[in-house]
Structure 1
Amino acid sequence: MRADTARRLTLLVRHNMVLRLRDPGHLVSYLVMPMVLMLVFSPLYQAALPGGGRAQAVIGMLVMFSVLSLSVVGTALLTERTWRTWNRLRASPASGVEMLVGKALPVFALLVLQQGLLLLFGSQVVGMPVTGTFALVLLAVCVWSFALLAIGVALAGFVRSHGELAAVSDVGALAVSALGGALAPISMMPAWAQALAPLSPGYWAVAMLGAAVSGDTGTVLRTALVLALVGVAAGALACFRIGRGIGDLRG
């Protein structure tokens, strides 16, 4: 039984990795655009925040464009519905969880790669100081990627078209990023925005990644726990939605 599960997962992961690599446009743009904006906004942030301007520029752009990648995550599942191939997958021996994992792992790897490259660019080109260990930074990147992945898959279970997914992802990304402190530090935001900030996953992501690059292990673990719970809740919702017949929805 375990051998059959491993074989099915391997085939699903390989198939979905091929699909993602054949259409890398969104991920490439979400890699290049934040690099450009890091270089453009870094001097501005340094002038406003002498002690942490570079970190704000790098982490803020990373969080905003990784949230925009929700559209890539959702597309991985929504495409199967619009191609009318989801029901074929459901008729296969693979379970709903196996299909989700097969879809999720390639996108998870690409999200981790995207964030890793942006942090590398931020430290080597923009000049963001990194005093945290590699393991701590990797933990933060993986937890944030997991939360994004789960939210994106859950989102794809409810929208009915690529246009609807793009609209929800773009508006949601702007709201999550702005309230989370990706565009400006929380302390510089209006009082009402500061009060709402903890409701945004971006708030916890900015705090976690900032703590990771500065080596604050305690803050990383606390914020990672919050984002992990968000990811588990979104993942459970996605599994429930698929179990209720997502394949019957029209794209």
Structure 2
Amino acid sequence: MIDSAVRTRINALVRLNTTLLLREPGPVVSRLLMPLILITVLHPLYRAALSGSGNAAGTTQIVAGMLVMFSLLALSIVGSAILTERVWRTWDRLRVTPAASWELIAGKVVPSFVILVLQQVLILGFGALLFALPVRDVLLLATAVAIWVVTLLCIGTALGTIARSHSELAVFYDIGGLALTVLGGALVPLSLMPDWARALAPLSPGYWAMSAFRHALDGESAEMMRANAVLLGLAVLFGALASWRIRRGWGRSHLL
């Protein structure tokens, strides 16, 4: 059980970091609205192109693909929350408070967690309501969303501890995010990609996220959990990297 003092500190940190996010809502709004616009515009194209694979193949591809792409781009929100403390050199001030390091990280990631969940619920709900995205098992889909969000939080936190500036972080989530999106089959189905790209696809978290969402939408729990197991492994790996960087003292009034 978490005692009342810890809950009070975490709540205060969550409110603070939520306020910081809301003061510059542009990145959040773009990550929420842009996928909806692209789904609306590109849905007819994907549906026609993949009509031979089933009535819902194009809808599943565009909705799941936009979800994966823009959630990877939303790593900017998670990483920036960590990196800003380093740039402002305010981490030391937070460390001298009674809050433990894990409480400080929790205060950072909880607002990002809410945004990422909202983003994915919004995209999936939009696809289901407007384009008849087939959802056979809501619980499976919710599990896929939760595990993917945890993976994103761990990756984003690790990037925030590694990047030396906001411009360097932008390279990670812009170029890296788009590369992982394409390689993972989120924009173009893997069956249409060259052999070398299909061979490299499993290296992308986006590949496993697409697999998890496809199987969740189809109600295939065993296949979904295999993909989720890989995502959880990535979450542990990047979470361990972030923890190591934090223990190493990246926040103590210097950048690399």
The answer (yes or no) to whether the contact 2:184–2:208 under 8 Å persists in 1 is yes
Q: Within the alignment, does 1:37 sit opposite 2:41 as a pair?
A: no
Aligned-partner residue type, residue 63 of structure 1: V
Aligned-partner residue type, residue 41 of structure 2: V
Give the unaligned 5+ runs of structure 1: none
Aligned-partner residue type, residue 4 of structure 1: A
Write the distance in 1 (CA, Å) between the matches of 2:177 and 2:115: 18
- Give 1:64-103 correspondences, 5 Å limit: 64-103=69-108
Post-superposition Cα deviations, 1:145-190, rounded to whole Å, max 9, x if no partner, equal 1101110110011111111111111011111100100011111110
Aligned-partner residue type, residue 201 of structure 2: A
Write the distance in 1 (CA, Å) between the matches of 2:216 and 2:19: 32
State the partner residue of 1:122: 127
Write the distance in 1 (CA, Å) between the matches of 2:108 and 2:243: 13
Aligned-partner residue type, residue 31 of structure 1: L
- Give 1:134-153 correspondences, 5 Å limit: 134-153=138-157
How many residues end up aligned between the 2 structures? 250
Write the distance in 1 (CA, Å) between the matches of 2:91 and 2:4: 24
> What's the CA shift for 1:126?
2.6
Aligned-partner residue type, residue 49 of structure 1: L
- TM-score (ref. length: structure 2): 0.93
Write the distance in 2 (CA, Å) between the matches of 1:223 and 1:249: 38
Write the distance in 1 (CA, Å) between the matches of 2:248 and 2:109: 19
The answer (yes or no) to whether the contact 1:160–1:249 under 8 Å persists in 2 is no
Aligned-partner residue type, residue 227 of structure 1: L
State the partner residue of 1:202: 206
Aligned-partner residue type, residue 35 of structure 2: P
Partner secondary structure for residue 246 of structure 1: coil
RMSD of aligned residue pairs (Cα, Å): 1.4
Aligned-partner residue type, residue 107 of structure 1: S
Partner secondary structure for residue 97 of structure 2: coil
Write the distance in 2 (CA, Å) between the matches of 1:135 and 1:20: 30
> What's the CA shift for 1:21?
2.4
The answer (yes or no) to whether the contact 1:208–1:220 under 8 Å persists in 2 is yes
The answer (yes or no) to whether the contact 1:176–1:201 under 8 Å persists in 2 is yes
Partner secondary structure for residue 181 of structure 1: coil
Write the distance in 2 (CA, Å) between the matches of 1:187 and 1:111: 29
1:220 to 218, 221, 224: 224
Post-superposition Cα deviations, 1:1-25, rounded to whole Å, max 9, x if no partner, equal 8333222222222221222223221
Write the distance in 2 (CA, Å) between the matches of 1:166 and 1:230: 21
State the partner residue of 2:254: 249
Give the unaligned 5+ runs of structure 2: none
Post-superposition Cα deviations, 1:68-116, rounded to whole Å, max 9, x if no partner, equal 0011110111111222211111222222222111111111111001100
The answer (yes or no) to whether the contact 1:13–1:103 under 8 Å persists in 2 is yes
